[in-house]
Amino acid sequence: MLVDSNVILDVATSDARWCEWSAQALERAANRCTLVINPIIYAEVSIGYKRIEDLELGLPPGVFRRDALPYAAGFLAGKAFLQYRKRGGGKKLPLPDFYIGAHAAISGFRLLTRDAARYRTYFPTVELLTPGQ
């Protein structure tokens, strides 16, 4: 299961609104399957840390498997971004969510996230685990 950075950051920062849900969702997922991150997720989570050593403690390799972003996911992310632009999206470069969603789609991963709207719109084949499920 690919884990979106917002879920990890909720726990790392003790987010008042989402920490409890994210911590429980991570624990349930870890008990059922392998948790996966990619370089995009790693980069987004790194913003919450001052030192790489602290980030490594927060994302222990024994808990989070690190997968490369497949080139096919890069292609799919670009296509999803074009759809976003055609629908009036204002960003000039693909957002990290497009790479994360494409990685999940290409690799057949479920995605643990609390921000499902963009993923549902641009990656409808990806099974999402979100609040309320």
How does DSSP classify residue 55?
A: H
- Tokens at 69, concatenated: 């972003």
C-alpha torsion angle, residues 99, 6, 45, 78 (rounded to 10): 10
**pLDDT tens track for 66-118:** 999 999 999 999 999 999 999 999 999 889 999 999 999 999 999 999 989 99
- What are the two backbone dihedrals, phi and then psi, of residue 126, each rounded to the nearest 5 degrees? -80, 130
pTM of this prediction? Answer: 0.94
With a cut of 80, say whether residue 133 has pLDDT above it: no
Using CA atoms, how far apart are residues 15 and 106, in angstroms rounded to an integer?
Answer: 31
- Tokens at 56, concatenated: 């490594």
Using CA atoms, how far apart are residues 18 and 11, in angstroms rounded to an integer?
Answer: 8
